[in-house]
Amino acid sequence: MTDCESPGLRDHRATARAGSFGSDADRYDRVRPGYPEALVADLSPRGCERVLDVGCGTGRAAAMFAARGCAVVGVDPDERMVDVARERGLDVEIASFEAWEPEGRSFDVVTAAQAWHWVDPAVGPAKAAALLDEGGVLAPIWNYRWPADADQRERILRIYRDLAPELVSSSPLLGTVDGEHELAAHAAAIAATDAFSVADIRRYRWQQLYRPEEWLDLARTQSDHRLVGDERLEVLLAAVAHELERHDEDVPVRYESVALVARRR
């Protein structure tokens, strides 16, 4: 494992982590959260845009744009994830964004739902700019989450500190990712192209209640968790399950969906 592939670090060079999702694509599609309708509506107000969804995965976000009447093309390097997206009836091409050939196509919106951090920041923003017509929008999207019950969160963190301490400091599942730092870094990379207006950060807050087995399944889809190894992960999650069962608890989770919106000059 290289330094950039260590658990907790979301970096486009972390190929082992970025490529871990397809091995359990059906579970990923079933338990990963969607995105607020208001966010999708804000990015496609006329409902007929040409949308490129980068790293579309199983098509959760792409399907929402398609439902609004957008002409959507997805691109993703993982054939296993693409198979699920195509079952939704989506048009998806298999490639990394950096290597993908647009073949003369242009778009009104380029988005990347929970995937832009896997794109090379020295390549992605400039390539997006070349694909967008004047006034078009680049809008990477992230879901940030944190357990809403502070006491429950601390009890879960205590288990993680004992059994998988490397996951504690920067875990998307546990809400310890420095989202503001991440957003600022991506905004800076977009600004460096001089092709976009200043990126606007739009935030949408919501909450979801997970049954214990649902939260544990969500944990199994996290790239940092997958890298600790199946045996250690199951020991960790068994301990968390015991703690939740002991208190007869569901897991309330707060979400903040964030769109980093930059308009093509």
- Report yes or no: 114 and 141 within 8 Å, Cβ to Cβ: yes
Q: What is the pLDDT of residue 113?
A: 96
CB-based burial of residue 110 (10 Å sphere; 0-12 exposed, 13-18 middle, 19+ buried)?
Answer: buried
Residue predicted with more confidence, 138 or 16: 138
Q: What is the pLDDT of residue 28?
A: 86
The Cα–Cα gap between 139 and 185 comes to 14
Q: What is the pLDDT of residue 151?
A: 96
Mean pLDDT within 216-228: 92
pLDDT in tens, 17-76: 444 555 578 898 999 999 999 999 999 987 678 999 999 999 999 999 999 999 999 999
Q: What is the pLDDT of residue 74?
A: 98
Contacts of 216 (CB under 8 A, 6+ apart): 237, 240, 241
81, β-bridge pairs: none
pLDDT in tens, 105-161: 999 999 999 999 999 999 999 999 999 999 999 999 999 999 999 999 999 999 999
Residue predicted with more confidence, 13 or 99: 99
Assign 7 a pLDDT band (cuts: 50, 70, 90).
very low
Full-model pTM: 0.88
**Can you give the residue range of the structural domain that contains 80?**
3-263
Structural domains in the chain (count): 1
Q: What is the pLDDT of residue 143?
A: 95
Residue 265 CA, chain-centre distance (Å), reads 26
Q: In this prediction, what percent of the chain has a pLDDT beyond 70?
A: 91
Q: What is the pLDDT of residue 3?
A: 30
Assign 11 a pLDDT band (cuts: 50, 70, 90).
low
The CATH number assigned to the domain holding 75 equals 3.40.50.150
Assign 16 a pLDDT band (cuts: 50, 70, 90).
very low
Q: What is the pLDDT of residue 50?
A: 96
Q: What is the pLDDT of residue 5?
A: 32
Contacts of 150 (CB under 8 A, 6+ apart): none
Q: What is the pLDDT of residue 153?
A: 95
Of 128, 115, 53, 116, nearest to 85 by C-alpha is: 53
Whether residue 13 has pLDDT greater than 80: no
Whether residue 86 has pLDDT greater than 70: yes
Q: What does the longest C-alpha to C-alpha distance in the chain come to? A: 58
Q: What is the pLDDT of residue 33?
A: 92
**The residue to which tokens 């989202």 are assigned:** 179
